[in-house]
Structure 1
Amino acid sequence: MIYVFVGPTLPAEQARQELDAVFLPPAAQGDVYRAAREHPEAIGLIDGYFERLPAVWHKEILWAMSEGIHVYGGASMGALRAVELAPFGMRGVGATFEAFLHGDLEDDDEVAVMHAPEEEGFRPLSEAMVNIRATLAAAERARVIRGDTRQALERMAKGLYYPERGYPHLLAQAAHQGVPSPELERLRAWLPQGRVNQKREDALAMLRTMSAELTRRPGPKKVSYWLSRTDAWEAACRLREP
């Protein structure tokens, strides 16, 4: 059995085309622990809550791996946790993971989005900063915008609160701040076909990596650390018992 937590980054019906797994909603604190209690072969973390619900706890991932479960992360919350826990054996996949791992990105808000509720399929309501960066870089490579315009647009997008990030808002702000209108019009016309969804690409890469690696039957995960069962950990586990 394999569990994967996914939401606004990639619709579950698309994810099922890449990996035979049980797809769960975005993970909050305790959800990885509860999934690990079912003794799956692997757990994949793509999307997770971080603001209105407590985020996935590092220790629940460490505990899962110490129980022999392979844990993968990428694209969003999964990329953040994979970078933090890579030294302990969590498997990170994708360009976003690599950018955080090498220090090119540092802020959690790079992957944050607002999204619709579960009954609406967790539809994203804003654009992730990592997607905007990838899209603007692609536009520069395609000679739609100049390098200095890309940098200016990146700064403007980064200055927005994450729920407000989106191309219509960004282009309107850029026009107000004097970015040359011919470039903005070229970008506006190019975006429907040219925009890059980096988080989606990373999520697909993670699922494909899981499929390829788990098909080889790697056996239980082996770790080199000893997990301290502190009073706080034991209390947290009791709170999350079914």
Structure 2
Amino acid sequence: MSAIIYLGPSAPVSEARALLDADYRPPVRHGDIWRALADRPRVIGIADGVFEQTPAVWHKEILAALDAGVHVFGAASMGALRAAELHPFGMRGVGPIFEAFRDGTWTDDDEVALAHGPAETGYAALSLPMANVRFTVEAARRAGVIDDGSAQALIGAAKAIFYADRRWRTVDAAATVSPQALEAFKAWRETGCVDQKRADAVAMVASIRAFLAEDPPPFSPRFVYERTDLAEHARRIALGG
């Protein structure tokens, strides 16, 4: 087993598989990394993960994977969040979204959160992640489609909307920009929208492909993994014990 990659709404598995033949699994959840270690992967990649209704993947299980010699990559969504938190321990983050969290530019989970459909729909996105709003608005500003004031108004309006309700139509309706600027932005979006989450997820897969091509040795941790009673209890539950 070379690579296990958790991928859901950020990018289509078909697009990722065209880059790297790996074991693609649904969005990661609490316990999945402990279970994955039984398959002895060389690399684990995390793009998407669940939260709210289901416990999210725990930092401790990612540290356990690193301690076991597995290289762990993260990008785009849950992977970017966990990589920003765990890069000092050796988790590898990929892409501008990870960098924004790592550098403290972004701190809110809603920057990458979105509502999406079930697996049979390919985890089709049902709402608009704040990250894609920011990159799209900035691209339009740089292209001269909107000015700084309109850009700030669009970002402010989007940020104030609950993540599951955020769509371009709700952003457009809430933004205090001139009708002319709004129409120009809407027309530009037909071809100019930036899907940064998708770009980062694909970049992570490409990074893993290049990394594996170098035939790397197992990860060598520079930290002491503490096998606490709580972590061992959670691990046993994850493994069905």
| TM-score using structure 2 length | 0.97
Tell me the distance in 2 between the aligned counterparts of 1:51 and 1:18: 31
1:116 and 2:117 aligned: yes
Tell me the distance in 1 between the aligned counterparts of 2:189 and 2:10: 19
> Which stretches in structure 1 are left out of the alignment for 5+ residues?
none
Match of 2:77 in 1: 76
**Larger CA deviation: 86-95 vs 205-214:** 205-214
Q: Is the 2:34–2:239 Cα contact (8 Å) retained in structure 1?
A: no
Out of 212, 225, 228, the position equivalent to 2:226 is 228
Give CA-to-partner distance per residue, 1:179-238, whole Å, 9 cap, x none: 200010011111110000000011111111111111101110100111111111111111
Structure 1 stretches of at least 4 aligned residues deviating more than 6 Å after TM superposition: none
Out of 193, 203, 206, the position equivalent to 2:204 is 206
One-letter code aligned to 1:162:
Y
Give CA-to-partner distance per residue, 1:19-76, whole Å, 9 cap, x none: 1201000001001111122110100000001111000000000000110100000000
Instruction: Please give the residue correspondences for 1:51-130 in structure 2 after superposition, counting only pairs within 5 Å.
Output: 51-130=52-131
Match of 1:157 in 2: 158
One-letter code aligned to 2:91:
M
One-letter code aligned to 1:94:
G
Q: CA deviation at 1:119?
A: 1.3
Match of 1:196 in 2: 194
One-letter code aligned to 2:180:
P
Tell me the distance in 1 between the aligned counterparts of 2:200 and 2:6: 14
Sequence identity (%): 48
Tell me the distance in 1 between the aligned counterparts of 2:173 and 2:227: 53
Aligned length: 239
Match of 2:4 in 1: 3
Tell me the distance in 2 between the aligned counterparts of 1:110 and 1:44: 20
Match of 1:215 in 2: 213
Tell me the distance in 1 between the aligned counterparts of 2:68 and 2:239: 17
Match of 1:13 in 2: 14
One-letter code aligned to 1:71:
V
What secondary structure sits across from 1:82 in the alignment? helix
Give CA-to-partner distance per residue, 1:102-122, whole Å, 9 cap, x none: 111111110000000111110
What secondary structure sits across from 2:19 in the alignment? coil
One-letter code aligned to 1:213:
F
1:140 and 2:138 aligned: no
| TM-score using structure 1 length | 0.97
What secondary structure sits across from 1:51 in the alignment? coil
Tell me the distance in 2 between the aligned counterparts of 1:216 and 1:106: 34
Tell me the distance in 2 between the aligned counterparts of 1:90 and 1:36: 16
Q: CA deviation at 1:93?
A: 0.4
Tell me the distance in 1 between the aligned counterparts of 2:191 and 2:151: 18
Tell me the distance in 1 between the aligned counterparts of 2:71 and 2:21: 15
One-letter code aligned to 2:63:
L
